[in-house]
Structure 1
Amino acid sequence: MTKAANEPGTGPLDIVARVLHRDGLMLIIDKPSGIPVHRGPRNSRDKSGAALEDYFDALRFGLPRPPVLAHRLDRDTSGCLILGRHRKATASLGLLFKHNKISKTYWAVVEGGPDADSGVIDVPLGRLSEERGWWQKPDPNGLPATTNWTVLGRSAGTVALTWLALEPITGRTHQLRVHCAAMGWPIVGDSIYGSGPRDGEPKLHLHAREITVPLSKNKPPVRVCAPVPAHMRDRLTACGWIASSEPGAP
């Protein structure tokens, strides 16, 4: 089930328009770039003071409590985000994530790019420093981290860009961003690990494009695809993406 591409805001009514999938156990929503998923200490809210979970009450759909996060995406990453609709469902989803049963594919536009058409990044990651909190770095003594990548397109202009499909086998914090930067092709707009700006454009070009969840042994897995966000369309088009091929496109 895929929603047609749109760019609603993050108000209570707009977040309903971002629901890509709904069943009795979970919701999958299209998270916008630029807003953190949960409340917390410094740097956890956008400039308006909001976090995405502030709007979850609008997603109860008849249940007594709002859904809760089953995992997280970075503040500046867009795309498929899973919410558990009740406590038992959230626990079941947590186990699926823990045992790597949920597969995720991200789209990224990177500066430069690999010479090959596919490959594997196997670079352990560790915390950059105590002061930097979640920030990570390649660390031979860190936690194992593996990412599969495939080239989906390349730009033909003077600015070298590559459109990648990234499949994280492990789920380390900032894994895709650090891995791409470590390979010499940082993600466009990455202000931490690349050359992106601290404020303004371009936004981070990392999008949780597709997620597959095996909820039941007796049914096919739930597969959901999130539409390409507006801020990535120009550079994806330069790399060969065709907007009319997008599900739901006129």
Structure 2
Amino acid sequence: MAARGSVAWRVGGFAVKPGGRLFSHSQSAAAPLTAEQLAEKIRAQKREQEKKPAREVPKDPLLRRVHELVQLSQQLQRVHPNVLAKALKNGILYQNKEIVVINKPYGLPVHGGPGVKSCITDVLPILAKMLDGMKAEPLHLCHRLDKETTGVMVLARDQETAHRIQELFRTRQVEKKYWAICVGAPEQTDGVVEIPIIEKEVESHQPHFKMTLAPNYRISHEHGKTFKVRQHRDAHVAVTRYRVLSSASSCSLLKLQPVTGVKHQLRVHLAYGLGCPVLGDHKYSHWSKLAPQKLPGKALKRLGLEQVKVRYLPLHLHACELTLPEGEEEKKIHLVCRPPRFFSRSLKRLNLEFPEAEDK
């Protein structure tokens, strides 16, 4: 203990007296550690921690599969911004003097927020310097993808280009295509979902907000006549084209083309419009609760999972193609991005295959 009338506090495993002197807990200790010695001691402890082997990968196939999925959802939230920027640089799909097109990884949000350690916006200045030197202007976002969505994402080298491309998205001149692995399959093998979408509060034991369908009208029967009654004037027009590419194991692979760009449009149209939610979409697989997606027994068996571990499944939604108009001569930039490894592995496990025309 400190002498009566004095004050002491702890730094690491040592007590510190006012004035900066250090003394050990043991009265018989030798000379006190200097600040440099204490710093070196902390560095040595850190080096020892780093030498310890990483947590062993389980031998059981089921536990190993869960381990892989947990790692997938956490890996990008642990790295230094420079490491993240370098990973994005290594995944660049295309670049010219105006734009840089990246392959957005799974689990990486576009913007920061509560609980977000790393996001794309934070590393845009670093990525720009890696590409164009220390005096480079930060790259600019042209559009967004959900945190859990992977694939083609366009960045602009300057604000003017960003505004021009954003206008192309707003006026629906950009053609976007996605692949999605879904639970179940639509009744029709191809078609168009044209149902407006609105955000609503879900009243349950865990109140929360979700996007949901808001049909243009409902049918009313009065005095023997049928009327169309318009609803939800604040709803957003939403149109999605879809085509089934493959079906097996109680799941299906769909190619999607969103004509409009409403928040969570594809996930809502698939889950509530076609009745086949995206695999790993734990938000839109239920309406009245927040709970892990419920999977058919056949899909669980093929994926090597138990229902209690389904919460670790990532969202299987991938932005595979994007076509941008270029200049005034009707030229186009066609961008293609192959799906991430976890998506391909799930396809293989579920016996789903791309038609030859798609797998190029």
Which deviates further from its counterpart, 168-177 or 62-71?
A: 62-71
DSSP-derived class of the 2:121 partner: helix
Is residue 15–residue 58 contact of structure 1 (8 Å, CA) maintained in 2?
Answer: no
TM-score (norm 1): 0.84
Deviation at 1:132, TM superposition (A): 4.0
The unaligned stretches of length 5 or more in structure 2 are 1-71, 77-82, 216-231, 294-309
DSSP-derived class of the 2:176 partner: strand
Is residue 214–residue 221 contact of structure 1 (8 Å, CA) maintained in 2?
Answer: yes
CA distance in 2, matches of 1:197, 1:203: 11
CA distance in 2, matches of 1:197, 1:35: 20
Deviation at 1:202, TM superposition (A): 1.2
2:326 counterpart residue number = 215
Choose which of 264, 267, 276 in structure 2 pairs with 1:185.
276
1:4 counterpart residue number = none
Q: Does 1:194 align with 2:285?
A: yes
Is residue 35–residue 50 contact of structure 1 (8 Å, CA) maintained in 2?
Answer: yes
If asked which structure has higher relative contact order (CA below 8 Å, sep 6+), I would say 1
Deviations 1:158-211 (A, max 9, x none): x31110001001100000000000121000000100167398521000000000
1:107 counterpart residue number = 179
CA distance in 2, matches of 1:226, 1:73: 14
When residues 17 and 197 of structure 1 are mapped into structure 2, their CA distance, relative to the original with a 3 A threshold, is: farther
Deviations 1:211-234 (A, max 9, x none): 000021226211111111111112
When residues 132 and 65 of structure 1 are mapped into structure 2, their CA distance, relative to the original with a 3 A threshold, is: farther
Deviation at 1:154, TM superposition (A): 1.2
Which deviates further from its counterpart, 224-233 or 212-221?
A: 212-221
2:127 counterpart residue number = 59
Q: Does 1:76 align with 2:148?
A: yes
Deviation at 1:90, TM superposition (A): 0.5
Is residue 326–residue 333 contact of structure 2 (8 Å, CA) maintained in 1?
Answer: yes
- Aligned AA for 1:148? R
When residues 66 and 179 of structure 1 are mapped into structure 2, their CA distance, relative to the original with a 3 A threshold, is: same
1:239 counterpart residue number = 352
DSSP-derived class of the 1:129 partner: strand
- Aligned AA for 1:197? P
Is residue 207–residue 228 contact of structure 1 (8 Å, CA) maintained in 2?
Answer: yes
Deviation at 1:25, TM superposition (A): 1.3
CA distance in 2, matches of 1:42, 1:58: 22
Is residue 110–residue 187 contact of structure 1 (8 Å, CA) maintained in 2?
Answer: yes
CA distance in 1, matches of 2:332, 2:244: 25
Is residue 15–residue 55 contact of structure 1 (8 Å, CA) maintained in 2?
Answer: no
Is residue 16–residue 58 contact of structure 1 (8 Å, CA) maintained in 2?
Answer: no
Is residue 280–residue 311 contact of structure 2 (8 Å, CA) maintained in 1?
Answer: no
Is residue 35–residue 76 contact of structure 1 (8 Å, CA) maintained in 2?
Answer: yes
CA distance in 1, matches of 2:266, 2:331: 28
Count of paired positions: 231
2:169 counterpart residue number = 97
Deviation at 1:246, TM superposition (A): 5.3
2:246 counterpart residue number = 153
Q: Whose helix proportion is higher, 1 or 2?
A: 2
DSSP-derived class of the 2:165 partner: helix
Q: Does 1:19 align with 2:92?
A: yes
TM-score (norm 2): 0.60
DSSP-derived class of the 2:342 partner: helix
Deviation at 1:38, TM superposition (A): 1.4
Choose which of 325, 337, 345 in structure 2 pairs with 1:226.
337
2:212 counterpart residue number = 137
2:255 counterpart residue number = 165
CA distance in 1, matches of 2:109, 2:326: 27
Deviation at 1:34, TM superposition (A): 0.6
Q: Considering only aligned residues, what root-mean-square deviation do their CA atoms show, in Å?
A: 2.5
* % identical aligned pairs: 28
Deviation at 1:37, TM superposition (A): 0.7
Deviation at 1:242, TM superposition (A): 8.1
1:3 counterpart residue number = none
